[in-house]
C-alpha cells in the first residue's frame, strides 16, 4: 500500500510518556476523520503497546521507545511500536491471554487487547535485541451529504 503521510517519535521508556504517545497517535489519526470509537480503539492499543515496552523491555534500565505512524491508501492507519530491550523469548506464548512476565500486578492481556481493538497485529522479537509491534486499523469511510 502506498504511504500518504507519516510521523516518527522517539522517547524514553518512562510511564509519563505513555499518555503522550496515546495522544499523539490519536491526533495523527484525526486526519482520517475517525469515529470516537475508532479513536478510543487507537488510544487503547497504543497505550498497551507502549506500556509493554516500558514495563517488559527495560525492567532494570531506561531505554527508548520508537513509534512510527503511517497513513496508507484505503484509510489504513499503521502503528509500529519498537524497543531495543530484552526481547521476548517465546512470542506465541506471550500472546496467550493471561500470560505475563510482569508480576502479579500485570494482567497479561496486552496483546489480546491490542488484537481486539485493531484489524491487524504482528509481533516480532529477538532476545537481547528488542521487540517490534505492528498494528493496523482501517478507518471507516464517512458518508458525506
Contact assessment for residue 53 and residue 61, using Cβ atoms and an 8 Å cutoff: no
For 3, the grid coordinates are: 504511504
Question: Domain for residue 16, yes or no?
Answer: yes
Look up 52 and say whether it is catalytic. yes
Among candidate residues 52, 70, 78, 82, the one labeled active-site is 52
Question: Domain for residue 21, yes or no?
Answer: yes
Q: Is 61 helix (H, G, I), strand (E, B) or coil?
A: coil
For 18, the grid coordinates are: 505513555
Domain count, the chain: 1
Per-residue pLDDT tens digits for 16-30: 999 999 999 999 999
Question: Domain for residue 9, yes or no?
Answer: yes
Question: Domain for residue 145, yes or no?
Answer: no
Per-residue pLDDT tens digits for 126-137: 999 999 999 999
Look up 106 and say whether it is catalytic. yes
At 99, which CATH number?
3.30.565.10
Contact assessment for residue 53 and residue 81, using Cβ atoms and an 8 Å cutoff: yes
Q: In 3-state terms, the chain is what percent helix, strand and coil (to 5)?
A: 35, 30, 35
Question: Domain for residue 115, yes or no?
Answer: yes
Among candidate residues 17, 68, 75, 106, the one labeled active-site is 106
Question: Domain for residue 104, yes or no?
Answer: yes
Which range of residues forms the domain containing residue 128? Answer: 3-138
The predicted model scores a pTM of 0.88
Amino acid at each position: 500500500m502506498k504511504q500518504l503521510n507519516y510521523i516518527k517519535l522517539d522517547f524514553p521508556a518512562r510511564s509519563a510518556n505513555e499518555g503522550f504517545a496515546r495522544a499523539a497517535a490519536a491526533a495523527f489519526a484525526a486526519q482520517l476523520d475517525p469515529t470516537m470509537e475508532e479513536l478510543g480503539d487507537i488510544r487503547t492499543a497504543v497505550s498497551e503497546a507502549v506500556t509493554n515496552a516500558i514495563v517488559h523491555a527495560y525492567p532494570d534500565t531506561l531505554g527508548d521507545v520508537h513509534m512510527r505512524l503511517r497513513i496508507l491508501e484505503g484509510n489504513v492507519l499503521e502503528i509500529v511500536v519498537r524497543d531495543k530491550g530484552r526481547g521476548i523469548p517465546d512470542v506465541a506464548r506471550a500472546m496467550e491471554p493471561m500470560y505475563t512476565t510482569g508480576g502479579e500486578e500485570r494482567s497479561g492481556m496486552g496483546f489480546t487487547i491490542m488484537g481486539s481493538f485493531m484489524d491487524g497485529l504482528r509481533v516480532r522479537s529477538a532476545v537481547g535485541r528488542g521487540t517490534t509491534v505492528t498494528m493496523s486499523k482501517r478507518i471507516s469511510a464517512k458518508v458525506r451529504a
